[in-house]
Chains A and B, each alone.
Chain A
Amino acid sequence: GAVVSQHPSRVICKSGTSVKIECRSLDFQATTMFWYRQFPKQSLMLMATSNEGSKATYEQGVEKDKFLINHASLTLSTLTVTSAHPEDSSFYICSAKRALGETQYFGPGTRLLVL
């Protein structure tokens, strides 16, 4: 099957610090990865689309300078939350799509708590 992992699964940080979340496709190459955010009792909200080797495309209302996305290889994308604040506390989920396929596979999510 297609497995997507995320690291860390859970992180607590102080306000003002930066946090990096990794998303890896373990058994396939993904030219496209997606980053979502989910607040309690809400649906997933797409933040950005990340294509390997090019700049990410951000959804409207998502600050690209605050949520830095790097997709340097076909198996790894990173999301860095810069100068995190308590309102950035959320469940962050990535997904990855095979180069020639259609189905997206999701990671297990990273729960971020900013104190």
Chain B
Amino acid sequence: DAKTTQPTSMDCAEGRAANLPCNHSTISGNEYVYWYRQIHSQGPQYIIHGLKNNETNEMASLIITEDRKSSTLILPHATLRDTAVYYCFVRVGRLGVNRDDKIIFGKGTRLHILP
């Protein structure tokens, strides 16, 4: 799987949009971009994933650049409950599903929502 790089930490004011960047310059054509987050003392929570088109769900939006070398996770109206560590991964998608593929966690981005 391609490697990703994320800023160590970010601050965002409550009610504003939180934009979390991720670089994945070595991404392959069949690799999806995935985002998870971990709130303190809880298991990681799936947020969203995408291949090349922008995606939106009830939690967030995912913007992937045209060359797919980077992406941005957008939390449109951040609340204090969004304080967490956010992880970006790139992984082979369904067509190339590997039964033993695994997520190796990096350090992620620690997002602080400021009241």
Contact = CB atoms under 8 A, between A and B. Distances in A.
Query: Could you tell me the dominant secondary structure of chain B's interface residues?
Result: loop
Given A32-B100, A49-B100, A106 B107 contact: no
Interface stretch (A13-21, A66-74, A95-103): A95-103
Interface stretch (B17-25, B41-49, B73-81): B41-49
Interface in A18-47: 31-32, 34, 36, 43-46
B99 A46 contact: no
Size category, A interface: 20 to 34
A100 B97 CA distance: 8
Contacts of A4: 43
Contact of B43 (A43, A46, A49, A109): A109
B43 A45 contact: no
Contact of B99 (A6, A32, A36, A111): A32
Interface residues of B, number: 26
Nearest to B104: A46
A104 interface: yes
A51 interface: yes
Contacts of A93: 43-44
B106 interface: yes
Contact of A34 (B34, B94, B103): B103
